[in-house]
């Protein structure tokens, strides 16, 4: 990479993609020559051209549900999600996988490009039509979309979309509430209750998919995703314990606010990429107190607020009271605290809290938790937890006895060691259009067709889970 540093390039990249979506939305309703469109195109080029000039060549690529520029995934804030989602769908409709900008682009060429983009969707063979129409533009090329996984059945796509939507809804709601509390506004829990009820319903029906959403840790805004993930994992665990819907909603709600005390911790500490100093640690360790205080300040004090305050206080104390805050006397930890601290530890370990930190692979996190069971963690609850997450959690990279490499895609409670696996590298070590295999499948002789031999760390292989699992 020449010219600008990597960070700088990618800081602007999200705006380029966002602007691309803006143009396509505008061009779809206006004539391409319309001033609204040409202004938007000019703005787009003002962002894009300097980058092309400094990088020499720029490849914008769609992989799964994400955009990459020169092979780096473009992260974006939640506000951009509707535009990014829209653009992903528009690319897919046309079978468009990449745009390579080979040289600085002229406005007139870009207008031709958008005109072709818009009209190609009406073609029987959209990609081919599009490709032909932009064939004369010498400064850019387009490439066909490579399939990331087998076309799932239509119904499954819809369900996945719904699950994804409600997951992101929950995250964006959580972000709103946390920020309100942070700015000193008082919030009620009515809306929070509705959001959690929605999640509980979805977990009862689609546990695997929603829990699968928590496996994708590559998000920009850790705090909000973490809160939602802990809530989902806690509810899912509660469901395994056979708790009622009412109790599950309570657990989900309480879990959502377990880390609310972190609003008091300065961002420089929260987002610090390197390890904490002793002083910083002692500040971090105060978030349970601050959590209690934040919760007690909210509107209408009831049994739920009490429970939330207790969990905020206890969630790092540990089963054997080896954690924090330290108390003089031991007592029985709240049942919700025990559930939530399991979910919290697991999500914390498998997430990259800050941009640069490499998270732990799910199976590594589970084996670490296994060592803690009976000490820091409630051993019985942990058994239920491992049952829920699976011996091979969604997102685990596994090697099969066929030498194929793949990601655990879905697992069934009945066959914990035989999940469905999305193969991404074939037996010869080649990267392939991925396909799903079911490890419970047997050959006519009665032997299993495939078996997991070992697990591997997806981070080491630079495999982006989000690309495959969303």
Binding residues for Fe ion (CB under 5 A): 259, 344
Nearer to Fe ion, 109 or 344 (CB): 344
Shortest distance, position 348 Cβ to Fe ion, whole Å: 6
**How many whole angstroms separate alpha carbon 101 and alpha carbon 45?**
11
HSE, side-chain direction, 13 A CA sphere, residue 164: 14
Neighbours of 49 (CB within 10 A): 18
Shortest distance in whole angstroms from residue 470 CB to Fe ion:
23
| Nearest alpha carbon to residue 229 among 349, 56, 408, 51 | 349
At residue 375, φ and ψ (nearest 5 deg) are -105, -90
Q: How far is the CB of 292 from Fe ion (least distance, A)?
A: 12
- Least distance CB 129 / Fe ion (angstroms): 50
All residues at 6 or more sequence positions from 104 whose CB lies less than 8 Å from its CB, including other chains: 49, 52, 53, 139
Could you give the residue ranges of the DSSP H alpha helices within 56-189?
81-93, 107-120, 126-133, 154-182
Which CB sits closer to Fe ion, 120 or 214? 214
| DSSP conformation letters of 299-338 | SS--HHHHHHHHHHHHTTT-TTS-SSS--SS--PPPHHHH
Nearer to Fe ion (CB atom), residue 90 or residue 259: 259
**Closer Cβ to Fe ion, 210 or 342, answer by number:** 342
In the complex, least distance from residue 251 CB atom to Fe ion, rounded to whole angstroms? 15
Compute the least distance from the CB of residue 321 to Fe ion, in Å: 16
User: Between 343 and 408, whose beta carbon lies closer to Fe ion?
Assistant: 343
Task: Please state the φ and ψ torsions of residue 105, each to the nearest 5 degrees.
Answer: -105, 140
CB of 384 to Fe ion, least distance (A): 20
Number of helices and strands (H, E) in the chain? 17, 10
Beta bridge partners of 452: 400
């Amino acid at each position: 990479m020449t010219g600008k540093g990597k960070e700088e390039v990618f800081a602007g990249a999200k705006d380029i993609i966002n602007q691309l979506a803006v143009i396509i939305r505008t061009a779809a309703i206006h004539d391409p020559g319309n001033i609204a469109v040409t202004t938007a195109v000019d703005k787009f080029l003002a962002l894009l051209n300097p980058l092309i000039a400094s990088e020499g060549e720029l490849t914008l690529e769609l992989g799964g549900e994400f955009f990459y520029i020169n092979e780096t995934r473009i992260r974006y804030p939640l506000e951009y999600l509707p535009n990014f989602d829209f653009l992903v769908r528009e690319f897919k409709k046309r079978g468009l996988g990449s745009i390579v900008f080979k040289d600085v682009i002229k406005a007139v060429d870009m207008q031709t490009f958008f005109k072709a983009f818009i009209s190609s969707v009406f073609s029987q063979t959209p990609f081919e039509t599009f490709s032909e129409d932009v064939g004369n533009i010498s400064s850019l090329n387009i490439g066909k979309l490579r399939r990331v996984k087998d076309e799932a059945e239509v119904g499954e796509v819809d369900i996945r979309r719904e699950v994804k939507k409600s997951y992101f809804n929950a995250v964006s709601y959580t972000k709103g509430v946390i920020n309100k509390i942070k700015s000193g506004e008082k919030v009620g829990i009515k809306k929070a209750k509705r959001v959690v009820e929605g999640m509980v319903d979805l977990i009862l029906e689609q546990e695997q998919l929603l829990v699968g959403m928590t496996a994708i840790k590559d998000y920009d805004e850790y705090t909000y995703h973490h809160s939602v993930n802990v809530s989902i994992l806690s509810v899912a665990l509660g469901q395994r314990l056979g708790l009622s819907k009412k109790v599950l909603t309570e657990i989900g709600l309480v879990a959502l606010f377990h880390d609310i005390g972190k609003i008091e911790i300065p961002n420089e500490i929260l987002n610090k990429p390197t390890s904490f100093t002793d002083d910083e640690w002692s500040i971090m360790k105060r978030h349970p107190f601050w959590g209690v205080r934040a919760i007690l300040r909210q509107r209408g004090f009831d049994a739920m607020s009490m429970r939330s305050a207790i969990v905020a206080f206890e969630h790092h104390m540990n089963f054997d009271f080896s954690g924090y805050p330290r108390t003089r006397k031991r007592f029985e930890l709240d049942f919700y605290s025990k559930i939530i601290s399991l979910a919290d530890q697991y999500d914390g370990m498998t997430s990259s809290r800050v941009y640069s930190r490499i998270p732990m692979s799910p199976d590594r996190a589970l084996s670490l938790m296994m060592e803690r069971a009976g000490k820091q963690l409630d051993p019985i609850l942990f058994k239920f937890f491992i049952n829920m997450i699976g011996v091979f959690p969604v997102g685990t990279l596994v090697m099969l006895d066929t030498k194929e490499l793949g990601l655990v895609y879905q697992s069934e409670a009945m066959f914990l060691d035989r999940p469905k696996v999305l193969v991404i590298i074939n037996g010869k070590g080649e990267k392939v259009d991925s396909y799903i295999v079911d490890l419970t499948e047997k050959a006519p002789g009665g032997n299993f067709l495939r078996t997991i031999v070992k697990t591997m760390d997806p981070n080491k292989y630079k495999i982006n889970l989000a690309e495959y699992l969303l």
